[in-house]
Amino acid sequence: MSEPHMVGAMTDQASAPEAEIPGKPTSASRTTLSHIMTHNDTNLLGTVHGGVIMKLVDDAAGAVAGRHSGGPAVTASMDEMAFLEPVRVGDLVHVKAQVNWTGRTSMEVGVRVLAERWNESTPPQQVGSAYLVFAAVDADGKPRRVPPVVPETERDRRRHQEAQIRRTHRLARRREILELRERRAAEGYQD
């Protein structure tokens, strides 16, 4: 139970030995979502609104998480969303996502966002990237186990290792913040 909203959500079944779930290769759930940007997607500067890109990122990552886990998965956190270049009306945006790492009930999904002009034959340019953590849930919204991801290439193995580093930092940051809040409460501060 690595995500904050899942603390204490384990059931009595957790004490029983769990059957090993067979792993799935990275390619089994990798996907690309493509969308042409229109005037409805723009911000006040006339470029595509970052929130539109974030929704596409979450949609693609959610599809990958659901495919990998074999059922519903919910967004637990977005660790990082980097906007590298603006996206314009008329751009064909490709959102490429894959599972980088799996825990017991959670998965990190890495996403690359590429854009190209819809009517030109120039290569797509990377315009963004993101890392999201998804939790697999059952019909009652309770956490459920996910299959381990099996990296297939050197790039997949590097992404898996980097995801483990991000997880370690995420957990350490959460622990330090909770400790700070407890110290402040003990000192009488009402935040």
Instruction: Identify the pLDDT of residue 18.
Output: 64
pTM of the full structure: 0.85
Query: Is 160 a member of any domain?
Result: yes
Average pLDDT over residues 8-22: 53
Which residues form the domain of 180?
24-187
Q: What is the pLDDT of residues 165-180, one digit of tens each?
A: 999 999 999 999 999 9
Instruction: Identify the pLDDT of residue 190.
Output: 83
Q: What is the pLDDT of residues 60-108, one digit of tens each?
A: 999 999 999 999 999 999 988 999 999 999 999 999 999 999 999 999 9
Query: Is 7 a member of any domain?
Result: no
Number of domains in the chain: 1
Query: Is 124 a member of any domain?
Result: yes
Q: Where are the beta strands (DSSP E) in 23-124?
A: 24-25, 31-36, 73-83, 91-102, 106-117
Instruction: Identify the pLDDT of residue 17.
Output: 53
Query: Is 4 a member of any domain?
Result: no
Instruction: Identify the pLDDT of residue 14.
Output: 42
Residue 137 has pLDDT above 50, yes or no: yes
Q: How far apart (Å, rounded) are the C-alpha atoms in residues 82 and 77?
A: 15
Neighbouring residues of 135: CB distance < 8 A, sequence distance ≥ 6: 3, 5, 6, 73, 74, 76, 105, 106, 107, 143
Query: Is 12 a member of any domain?
Result: no
CATH number of the domain bearing residue 98 = 3.10.129.10
Query: Is 44 a member of any domain?
Result: yes
Q: How far apart (Å, rounded) are the C-alpha atoms in residues 11 and 19?
A: 16
Query: Is 122 a member of any domain?
Result: yes
What average pLDDT does the structure give for the chain? Answer: 90
Higher per-residue pLDDT: 111 or 1: 111
Given pLDDT bands bounded at 50, 70 and 90, which one contains residue 191?
confident
> What sign for the dihedral angle of Cα 145, 3, 171, 31?
positive
Query: Is 53 a member of any domain?
Result: yes
